[in-house]
Amino acid sequence: MTESQVSQVARPTTPPPEAGDLTQDGARTQPRELAAAVAVPVLLLLLSVCVVIASAELGYWTPIGPGPGFLPLWLAVLLGAMSAVWLAQRLRARPAPPEPAEVAGISEDRAVEPHDEPLRLKQVFLVLGSLTAVTALLEVLGFQLAMLLFLLFQLKVLARRGWVLTLTLSALGSFGVYTVFAGLLSVHLPTSSIPLLRSMGF
């Protein structure tokens, strides 16, 4: 079943948009993307206000010319103005909830463009979560052990590969990469902060 078929079938029976658990199809992404399309300009607008306030404190002008706050201030004004225009454009362009047939049509048209594919949020969070975890572990377990765990998770759990491939690639990507980068290329990579592990060379 293709995505467009899924949305065609699922849409009439599924009340929009929060209910239903169709996290991976096109039907759910539309409202979510719309929310993001409004939230992002608002966040940028807030950012620009903060920067304007912070730059004002830095000093706008000095006797010899523009001060440290000069450029950030004008950049923030530009950012704020553009975000406001963008927000207005987004709000105006916000379409009424589309008819099921339209949804199918849109997702078919858009399937050609890679960035209009539905975003797999669960996958994104899994990748981001595991990256945050490995980053936190880098200076605790050291690069080699942290990366070994990271790759085991990525290859076995996310990519669902067999054990042989998982173990080989995980070992190469952690111990192998460390040997090449830290050993041959003298790139500094994090080591463990636990004395026992460090004494073992991690």
* Interface ranges with another protein (CB under 8 A): 33, 36-37, 40, 44, 51, 54, 58-59, 61-62, 64-72, 75-76, 78-79, 82-83, 85-86, 89, 114-115, 117, 119-120, 122-124, 126-128, 131-132, 134-135, 138-139, 147, 150-151, 154-155, 158-161, 165, 169, 173-174, 177, 181, 185-190
Residue (99 or 172) nearer to another protein, CB: 172
Residue 30: which of 46, 51, 44, 14 has the closest Cα? Answer: 14
CB 172 within 8 A of CB 183: no
The CA–CA distances, whole Å, from 175 to 129, 145, 161 equal 22, 8, 20
Cβ-count burial 161-172 (b if 16+ within 10 Å, e if not): beeeebbebbee
Residue (71 or 91) nearer to another protein, CB: 71
Q: How far is the CB of 107 from another protein (least distance, A)?
A: 15
Q: How far is the CB of 201 from another protein (least distance, A)?
A: 18
Residue (9 or 90) nearer to another protein, CB: 90
Residue (58 or 99) nearer to another protein, CB: 58
To which residue do tokens 């912070």 refer?
Answer: 54
At 201, is the secondary structure helix, strand, or coil? coil
DSSP conformation class of 34: H
Q: How far is the CB of 133 from another protein (least distance, A)?
A: 11
Residue (54 or 91) nearer to another protein, CB: 54
DSSP string across 157-196: IIS---HHHHHHHHHIIIIIHHIIIIIIS-------SSHH
Q: How far is the CB of 26 from another protein (least distance, A)?
A: 14
Q: How far is the CB of 105 from another protein (least distance, A)?
A: 17
Alpha-carbon distance of 147 to 132, in angstroms, equals 12
Residue (104 or 155) nearer to another protein, CB: 155
Q: How far is the CB of 12 from another protein (least distance, A)?
A: 27
